[in-house]
Structure 1
C-alpha cells in the first residue's frame, strides 16, 4: 500500500503491510495475547520496515522481546560464595525479565556437547527473539551466533571481531583509575595479583600498567603476580609464593587485585604471614561484591555496575531488533566503574 508523504504510520498501515487484522497488530506490539511465531515475525518486520518500531520504542510501548535464550557457563548457575559477580548480574537480569514478562530459556554453554551450532539450533527451535551470552567469548561460538542472524548480545565479554553487540564494565579504565589513586596515595611499588583469565581480565592488567606510564613511573616497580585462577585460595597461594621468594613483601606497599576473590585470598595470606593491613601493605580489589564490606579491614575495591549490565544488554538486544532493517554495525557498550574506598588502604607519608 502506498502511503501519503508526511502521514504518520499507524497500526492499520502495519496490518495492511503484514496482511493481518488491526487487532492482531495490537496484540503483537503490546504482548496482550499469544500469537503464532510466523505472524508475530511478519508484524514486527512490517513495523520495523515502516519505521514504526524506532519511533514507538522510545516510549517503551512495544513488547519487542517475548522470549530470549540465556547462554551461561555452568559455574554461574549454582549460587555460592565465589560467584557473587555473575550471580548478582543474573539476578538483576532475571528480575527485569520477570517484570517485563520476558520468557527466559537458560542453556549451559560450556558443556563439551554444546557448540555454537548446537546453541543456534536450540535457539531456533525455541523461536527466541534473541540470545544473551554471559562470559563465554570464544571466537568459534561468536562466529556461529553472528552467522545465524539471531540478534545477540555478549555480556561481560569481548568480541574482538565486533560481530555482535556487547556490554562490559570499563575494565581497563577502572583498573587505571584505581592504580592511579594508589599512586596518589604515595605508593610506587605495587603488585598486581591476577590470573590468566579471558581478555576482560587482561584489560585490568593493561589499566594497571597504563597508570604507571601516565604518571611517568618505571614499570620495574609495577609487579605482576599470576595466580592459578580467581578463587580465594588461589590468590592466597600466589601471595604465599611471593612472600617465600622475596622473604617478605620485597618492598611492595600495595596490592591491586584483578578480582575481589583474589583480594580475599591475598588478605588471608598476609594475615598468616604477620603482615599488617593497611599499615604494612594496602589492598584493593575489583568487582565490588558484598563480602568486601565484611573483611577486616574492609576492602577498598573497584565497584562494577552489575545491577545495570543485564538491563543494558536487554536494551541493546531491543535496539538490534528494532533497527534490524538498517543492519547497523555492532555496538560495544562499556559501563563506568567507581572506586569504593574503605579501610584497606593507607596513604604513605
Structure 2
C-alpha cells in the first residue's frame, strides 16, 4: 500500500476489512463496550494492516509533540567511519521526526553537554521535549529532570531511573554472543572491550553471565581492554596480547564489544598469521560496519538502531499525551540479533 492511499484510510475501511459494523470498530478502538476476543482481534488486525492505528497515533503526536530538542555529545557528531553507530542513530531520529511532521532542533554547542545550556536551548526552540543521546552522567540527568521538560535518554543508562530510557539490551546481547560461541564448542573466549560507558560494561556482564548459566568457571573467559573503541587501539591491545602470550594462549574465540574493535582485531590477527575462523572465531557487536565486506565476513550482534530512534520519539509522545509528568519513568530495552557470517566459523571438536 502506498503512503498516499494509507493517509485516506478511515474507520469505514476498517469495518469493511474486518467484516463488522462501523460502531463495532469504534467500540473496539475506544474501549466503550464489551466485544468478543475474536472480533476484537479481527478489528485490530484490520486496523493495523491498513495503517489506521499508526494514523491515529501520529495524530496524537502532532497534537502533543511538535518540536524535539536533540542533545548529543560533540564527540559523537563527526561523520566518519568510527561514528557509524551514532550517525545511523541520528539519521534514524531525523527520518522518524520528519515522518511524524515533528521539528527536530540540534543542540549546537561544541562543548561538553551541560544542563543549563540544554534547558535554555530547548526553551528557546519552543521544544515539547528533549532527547538526550549517550550522555548518562547522573548530575546531568538530575538537572534535566528538575527542568520540568520531558526527557528521554537514548542509548544510555540511568541507574536512578529519573528519566525515560530507550536502550538496546546490552547485557542480554553480550550473553547471546557468548552463548553462541559456547554452543559451538569454544570454552576459552577472549572478550575485547574498552573502559567505556555503563552500556559497554553491560556487554561484559553478559559475557560472564553466559559462563555462569552453563555452570562453567568464569575464569575460562578472559577480558582484554583496549584504550578506546577505535580499531587502531584494538590492534595495539591484541598485538600486545599475542606478543606477551606467544599466541592466543588457548583462546579459540574473540568476542568484541563493538564492530570497530572487531575490525582492529581482524587486522592484528591477520598480521600475526592467525587464521579466521580456522584458528580463532571472531564476533563483533553493533551491526552497522561493513561486516559483510570484510574477509572473512564478520559475525556480529545487530543492534536495532532505527527501532530505538523511533521508540525514543514514541516514548516522548507517550509522556506528553498519555502518562503525564508524574508517572514513574520507564525503561525500554530492545533485543538484539546475532548475524552469522564467516568469521564465526562452525562447530569445533572438543
* TM-score category, normalised to shorter length: 0.7 to 0.9
In the alignment, is the contact (CA less than 8 A) between 2:58 and 2:100 conserved in 1?
A: no
Change (3 A) 1:305 1:109: farther
Q: How far has the Cα of 1:58 moved from its partner?
A: 5.3
**Corresponding residue of 2:267:** 268
Change (3 A) 1:289 1:65: same
Secondary structure at the counterpart of residue 290 of structure 2? helix
**Corresponding residue of 1:282:** 281
Question: What are the residue-to-residue correspondences of 1:229-308 with 2, within 5 Å?
Answer: 229-308=228-307
**2: CA distance, partners of 1:97 / 1:59:** 14
Change (3 A) 1:107 1:151: same
Secondary structure at the counterpart of residue 146 of structure 2? helix
Change (3 A) 1:174 1:135: same
**Corresponding residue of 1:223:** 222
Q: How far has the Cα of 1:59 moved from its partner?
A: 3.9
**Corresponding residue of 2:88:** 88
**2: CA distance, partners of 1:225 / 1:283:** 14
How many positions carry a matched residue from both structures? Answer: 294
In the alignment, is the contact (CA less than 8 A) between 2:304 and 2:336 conserved in 1?
A: yes
Change (3 A) 1:167 1:254: same
**2: CA distance, partners of 1:161 / 1:77:** 27
**2: CA distance, partners of 1:300 / 1:288:** 9
Secondary structure at the counterpart of residue 82 of structure 2? coil
Which stretches in structure 1 are left out of the alignment for 5+ residues? 1-54
Q: How far has the Cα of 1:69 moved from its partner?
A: 0.6
> Per-residue displacement from partner, 1:224-261 (whole Å, max 9, x unpaired)?
00000001001111101110110111011000000000
Q: How far has the Cα of 1:177 moved from its partner?
A: 0.9
Farther off after superposition, 178-187 or 319-328: 319-328
Secondary structure at the counterpart of residue 83 of structure 1? helix
Secondary structure at the counterpart of residue 344 of structure 2? coil
**Corresponding residue of 2:58:** 60
In the alignment, is the contact (CA less than 8 A) between 1:151 and 1:320 conserved in 2?
A: yes
Change (3 A) 1:299 1:325: closer
Farther off after superposition, 235-244 or 199-208: 235-244
In the alignment, is the contact (CA less than 8 A) between 2:319 and 2:325 conserved in 1?
A: no
Secondary structure at the counterpart of residue 122 of structure 2? helix
Which stretches in structure 2 are left out of the alignment for 5+ residues? 1-52
**Corresponding residue of 2:197:** 198
**Corresponding residue of 1:70:** 70
With normalisation by structure 2, the TM-score equals 0.81
In the alignment, is the contact (CA less than 8 A) between 1:131 and 1:153 conserved in 2?
A: yes
